[in-house]
Amino acid sequence: MNVNLLMILLNGITYAGLLFMVASGFTLVFGLMRVVNLAHGIFYLLAAYLGLLIYRTTGSWWLCLIGSSLIVAACAFVIHSTLLRRVQGDDQRETLLTLGISFVVGDLLLAYFGGMPQRLRAPEMFSVPVSLGILTYPGFRLFVLGIAVFIGVFLWALLKFTQLGRIIRAGVDDRDMVAVLGIDIDWAFVAVFVLAGFITGLSGVIGGSYLVFAPGEDIHVLTYSLIVVIVGGLGSLSGVALGALVVGLIDSFSKTLVPAFTMFFLFGTLMLVLAFRPHGLRGREK
Amino acid sequence: MEPVLEISGVHVYRQGSHILKGVDLSLSGGSLALIGRNGMGKTTLISTIMGLLRSSEGSIRFMGQELIGKKPCLIARKGIGLVPQGKRVFRSLTVDEHLKLAFEPKRKHQADIYWNVERVYELFPRLKERIRQEGTRLSGGEQQMLAIGRALVTNPSLLLMDEPSEGLSPIMMETVIEACHRLTAAGISLLVVEQSLHFASSVSDRYAILMTGAIVQQGEFPDLLRDRQLLSAYMGISNTRVAR
Amino acid sequence: MNAESVSRRSMLLLALLLAAVIPWIVPNFYTFLLTKVLFLSLASASLILLAGYGGMLSLAQVAFYGVSGYIVAYLALRTGVSFLPTVILAILGATITGALFAFIAVRTSGLYFLMMTLALGQIAFFGAFQWARITGGYDGMVGIPAPVVFGQVMASGKAAYYFTLVPVLAGFYWLHRMVRSPFGVALQGIRDGDVRMAALGFNVKVHRFLAIVFSAMIAGAAGVLSTYFYGMMSPQLVSLGAAVTLLFISLLGGIARFEGALIGALVFVLLEDYASVFTARYNTIIGLFFILVVLFFPKGIAEIFRRKKRAVL
């Protein structure tokens, strides 16, 4: 196989890994809570900027990763209990609130950090290129892919084998029916929202070390998450994986071959998928 | 004796229309069938008891405790189980996962726990054969067994059953009737919403007729089945169908 | 004709008269702000048609607005196409974009629709960035000459005001007629219960499709006006921020009726003007107001968010 082609393919797959991380939290929240968390992108960006602060003071990338994710998870908890809870049950108002939050936090981040693009420095151990037979590949990207696979397996096991997982899956199907079994589904909402915040925090720090970030990156992330879950099918973890792969590859190929038209290609993909599978590749009719 | 369930003066509005107009109903153990034609408010009443719908007026007491205004999950924890209309099994959960999901032994005193996953499989051996099947892959009758089993493992003292005979084959209907007898024998009170008089009169001795949002008639089944006039007035059916 | 409708008519007449003479009464700066209010309210009305009357909350309106804006900018700066064909092509462009979006989006409703329109709108936004050869990328296109209508250059503040006022009034009138036409009544019926309307023999998807297309036309017209007003076009006008702004305007005034668009746009323009004097962080202030409106004044949104519950009985 052509080395360039293989490179583009690998770039697509590793980018898909990042997209999977970002979109998995989003789809979990939507699937269970019926809230389109439009603050999702800003969670990502917030984690990246928090990582920048933590790195400046401690110099440890691993501390950035854990610290930022925990703080973002805590923010998710606060947002849920102060704002979303007030309008719980009104899905559209919850969604609009997250939009407002994203607007405000985005502006405040711009005020504090300025508009210059930033990047986190990944640890030395990842800057070593890895030899993969006919080509060498950046080690950090392979690490990203590894983390994505790990998160995927973790979420799959959580959904499959734990009581929280059963509650989430059942709640996606029929919330009221879960409640009348005596299960406090509100508690599951909080757990999922915070978990999604944590995973998004992880992906923010990892993504911020993979690509540069600047104000506005939140919207980029949000848009890609939306495309991934719409293509893959809402609320399904395997759908996110598939959607991330499709979007990652199309993005990688079109960015290399026809950089001005990436968005048109993504739009075309969306049209094509939805024309034949209105609920996404792995989506099910409600 | 204190009634298990005491409903008085319950009014419910939905999307501007007055569905329940002062329902009074009392159940003190055993089984009571709530019958009546379609669109009379039976399912609305069940949903209101469970806390899924809000009533604007009235009181619903379970073992003396007021239920109105409580969240559905707290109402369920007091000891009320629901077998909903249309079964509503979870399509992404297997049979076993349904029962595991609903079985929360930590929530109750050890002495109050009779129903666990194994006992449900004893009651419905068919479910055990389908243990790894997803809920929606089951037949209608099996789904009904699963819906009953799912409610049972919460160890309720009152079970609300909404149209349990809907879409069941005659053989399956007999199985469910027999299961209901075992439940009442085990001391669980039943409130059964039914359209099928055969099913209703087989599981309950007493009936109440709900018509346009209020209870219009209550009594014992043998009396009802003899009263042609009452049947055609409230149920809109002739004697020949009752005989079946 | 009863007394109420007489008084409504005279109120309307008074308002029109006021709109006609106001540039001669207030200082030029306020004429400038009022012109902004006019085209923003038309854009907001396009959203209200979809959200208030059609039950489809859309975040893609700014994309339609942007497509026509870019067409105006491109034709005016890079070609010699004259005013009228430019406007027609621009609105046609927005309408075709609307039809493309609608083709995908009518398959969904509620939150899925919102999500879909957000994705589509943002694709347009990033597309505007990437296709720099045509759109001017990040910087956009500046220096668009004022339009020439009947040999008159619409350059001064007053001229720009009237140039905006006439199409905005026409747009509102068309919308007013539309929602009272059989199509509009059916659309509102679909908003309140699509299953029931489908059972009555209405083609729900076609009605939704047309509503999106009409709304894209109106948004496109607003985009034309805005582009001539600012004399420039940039991706910021298509961004999520712009979409939020439009949503905010519509929520402020109450999303259920077209009159809300004018009130919302007026309040917004004044708020923006004052806030930007005091602080560079006026986006934060707008965002906080947005959150407050959603939390405490859902009256406007209550109408479209009347949740469709399945009839259980």
Q: Could you tell me if residue B109 is inside a domain?
A: no
Q: Which domain holds residue B164?
A: 5-88+156-243
Q: Vertex A274, ends A189 and C215: CA angle to 5°?
A: 90
Q: Could you tell me if residue C46 is inside a domain?
A: yes
Sign of the CA dihedral C96, C100, C106, C112?
negative
DSSP of chain A: --HHHHHHHHHHHHHHHHHHHHHHHHHHHHHHH----TTHHHHHHHHHHHHHHHHHHH--HHHHHHHHHHHHHHHHHHHHHHTGGGGTT-HHHHHHHHHHHHHHHHHHHHHHH-SS-B-PPPPHHHHSEEEETTEEEEHHHHHHHHHHHHHHHHHHHHHHHSHHHHHHHHHHH-HHHHHTTT--HHHHHHHHHHHHHHHHHHHHHHHHHHS-B-TTHHHHHHHHHHHHHHHH-TT-HHHHHHHHHHHHHHHHHHHHH-GGGHHHHHHHHHHHHHHH-TT-SS----
Cα-trace Rg, chain A = 19
The answer for A121, left when phi > 0, alpha when psi is -120 to 50, beta otherwise, is beta
Tell me: pLDDT of C301 over 60. no
CB contact under 8 A, B39 and C313: yes
Per-window interface: B 84-113 vs A, CB < 8 A? 84, 88, 90-93, 97-98, 100-102, 104, 107
- Chain A hits for C100, CB-CB cut-off 8 Å, are 271
CB contact under 8 A, B73 and A185: yes
Question: What tens digit of pLDDT does each residue of B211-243 get?
Answer: 888 888 888 888 888 888 877 777 765 544 444
DSSP of chain C: --HHHHHHHHHHHHHHHHHHHGGGTS-HHHHHHHHHHHHHHHHHHHHHIIIIIT----S-HHHHHHHHHHHHHHHHHHS---HHHHHHHHHHHHHHHHHHHHHHHTT--HHHHHHHHHHHHHHHHHHHHH-HHHH-GGG-EE-PPPPEETTEE--SHHHHHHHHHHHHHHHHHHHHHHHHSHHHHHHHHHHH-HHHHHHTT--HHHHHHHHHHHHHHHHHHHHHHHHHHHTEE-GGGGSHHHHHHHHHHHHHH-TTSTHHHHHHHHHHHHHHHHHHHH-S-HHHHHHHHHHHHHHH-THHHHHHT---PPP--
Q: What is the mean pLDDT of the segment spanning B19-26?
A: 89
pLDDT reported for residue C2: 67
Question: What tens digit of pLDDT does each residue of C200-227 get?
Answer: 888 889 999 999 999 999 999 999 999 9
Q: For the domain bounded by A3-276, which CATH number is listed?
A: 1.10.3470
Our CA-based measurement puts residue A173 at a distance from the nearest CA of chain B, in whole angstroms, of 6
Tell me: pLDDT of B118 over 50. yes
Token couple for A36:
């389109």
Q: What is the CATH number of the domain that holds B169?
A: 3.40.50.300
CB contact under 8 A, A222 and C122: yes
End-to-end CA distance of chain A: 43
pTM of the complete model: 0.84
Closest chain C residue to the Cα of B19, Cα to Cα = C313
End-to-end CA distance of chain C: 42
The DSSP output letter for B213 is T
Residue C111 sits at the chain A interface (C-beta within 8 Å): yes
- Residue C69 near residue C227, CB atoms below 8 Å: yes
pLDDT reported for residue C306: 42
Question: What tens digit of pLDDT does each residue of A227-256 get?
Answer: 898 888 877 888 999 999 999 999 999 988
Q: Could you tell me if residue C306 is inside a domain?
A: no
Measure the CA–CA gap between B193 and B33, rounded to whole angstroms: 6
Q: How many CB pairs under 8 A join A and B?
A: 66
Nearest to B93 among A169, A185, A284 (CB): A169
CB contact under 8 A, B92 and A170: yes
What is the pLDDT confidence band of residue A17, given thresholds at 50, 70 and 90? Answer: very high
- Chain A hits for C247, CB-CB cut-off 8 Å, are 96, 99
Residue C312 sits at the chain B interface (C-beta within 8 Å): yes
Mutation test of the interface with chain C: which of B12, B13, B14, B15, choosing the one with the most C Cβ atoms within 10 A? B15
- Residue B190 near residue B204, CB atoms below 8 Å: yes
Question: What tens digit of pLDDT does each residue of B53-111 get?
Answer: 988 889 999 998 999 889 999 999 999 999 999 889 998 899 999 999 998 877 666 66
Q: Could you tell me if residue C307 is inside a domain?
A: no
- Chain A hits for C118, CB-CB cut-off 8 Å, are 36, 38, 222-223, 226
Our CA-based measurement puts residue A227 at a distance from the nearest CA of chain C, in whole angstroms, of 6
Q: Could you tell me if residue C141 is inside a domain?
A: yes
CB contact under 8 A, B44 and C313: yes
Task: Domain ranges for chain A, please list them.
Answer: 3-276
Tell me: pLDDT of C244 over 50. yes
Measure the CA–CA gap between A20 and A221, rounded to whole angstroms: 11
Q: Could you tell me if residue C71 is inside a domain?
A: yes
Closest CA to A52 of A117, A112, A114, A119: A119
- In one-letter notation, the amino acid at residue B72 is P
- Chain B hits for C302, CB-CB cut-off 8 Å, are none
Token couple for A280:
């996404």
Closest CA to C166 of C20, C276, C2: C20
Residue B31 sits at the chain A interface (C-beta within 8 Å): no
Our CA-based measurement puts residue C151 at a distance from the nearest CA of chain A, in whole angstroms, of 39
Q: Could you tell me if residue C256 is inside a domain?
A: no
- Chain B hits for C311, CB-CB cut-off 8 Å, are 14
Closest chain B residue to the Cα of C307, Cα to Cα = B15
CB contact under 8 A, C125 and A92: no
Mutation test of the interface with chain C: which of A104, A176, A225, A266, choosing the one with the most C Cβ atoms within 10 A? A104
Work out the number of other CB atoms within 10 angstroms of the CB of residue A162: 11
Q: Report how many domains make up chain B.
A: 1
What is the pLDDT confidence band of residue A216, given thresholds at 50, 70 and 90? Answer: confident
Nearest to B88 among A163, A172, A177 (CB): A177
Q: Could you tell me if residue C20 is inside a domain?
A: no
Contacts of C61 (CB under 8 A, 6+ apart): C43, C46, C47, C50, C121, C215, C216, C219, C243, C246
Choose the weakest-confidence range: B2-16, B75-89, B152-166: B2-16
Contacts of B39 (CB under 8 A, 6+ apart): C313
Pairing state between β B80-83 and B158-162: parallel
Which contiguous run of DSSP H or E holds residue B239? helix B239-243
What is the pLDDT confidence band of residue A19, given thresholds at 50, 70 and 90? Answer: very high
Pairing state between β B189-194 and B158-162: parallel
CB contact under 8 A, B43 and C309: no
B30-40 burial: b if 16+ Cβ within 10 Å, else e: ebbbbbbeeeb
Our CA-based measurement puts residue B131 at a distance from the nearest CA of chain C, in whole angstroms, of 31
Q: Could you tell me if residue B96 is inside a domain?
A: no
- Kindly report the length of chain B: 244
Strands (E), B28-144: 31-35, 57-62, 65-66, 80-83
pLDDT reported for residue C182: 93
CB contact under 8 A, A87 and C240: no
pLDDT reported for residue A30: 84
Measure the CA–CA gap between C226 and C220, rounded to whole angstroms: 10
Question: What tens digit of pLDDT does each residue of A70-122 get?
Answer: 999 999 999 998 888 888 777 778 888 998 999 899 999 999 998 899 888 88
pLDDT reported for residue C1: 52
Interface chains of chain A (3 or more CB pairs under 8 Å): B, C
Measure the CA–CA gap between C8 and C14, rounded to whole angstroms: 10
Q: Report how many domains make up chain C.
A: 1
Interface chains of chain C (3 or more CB pairs under 8 Å): A, B
Our CA-based measurement puts residue C242 at a distance from the nearest CA of chain A, in whole angstroms, of 11
Choose the weakest-confidence range: B147-151, B204-208, C143-147: C143-147
Q: Could you tell me if residue C207 is inside a domain?
A: yes
- Chain C hits for B52, CB-CB cut-off 8 Å, are none
CB contact under 8 A, A173 and B92: yes
Question: What tens digit of pLDDT does each residue of C9-25 get?
Answer: 888 888 888 888 888 88
- What distance lies between CA A35 and its chain's CA centroid? 15
CB contact under 8 A, B71 and A163: no
Q: Could you tell me if residue B30 is inside a domain?
A: yes
Q: Which domain holds residue C162?
A: 28-239
Which contiguous run of DSSP H or E holds residue B155? none
- Chain C hits for B39, CB-CB cut-off 8 Å, are 313
pLDDT reported for residue B1: 63
Q: Could you tell me if residue B123 is inside a domain?
A: no
Tell me: pLDDT of C302 over 50. no
Contacts of B70 (CB under 8 A, 6+ apart): B51
Our CA-based measurement puts residue C303 at a distance from the nearest CA of chain A, in whole angstroms, of 12
Closest CA to B67 of B45, B92, B43: B45
Q: Vertex B219, ends B213 and B220: CA angle to 5°?
A: 135
Measure the CA–CA gap between C129 and C136, rounded to whole angstroms: 8
CB contact under 8 A, A177 and B84: yes
B108-145 burial: b if 16+ Cβ within 10 Å, else e: eeeeeeebebeebbebbebbeebeeebbeebeebbbbb
Measure the CA–CA gap between B98 and B149, rounded to whole angstroms: 9
**Is the model more confident about B198 or about C153?**
B198
Our CA-based measurement puts residue B38 at a distance from the nearest CA of chain C, in whole angstroms, of 7
Which contiguous run of DSSP H or E holds residue B146? helix B140-152
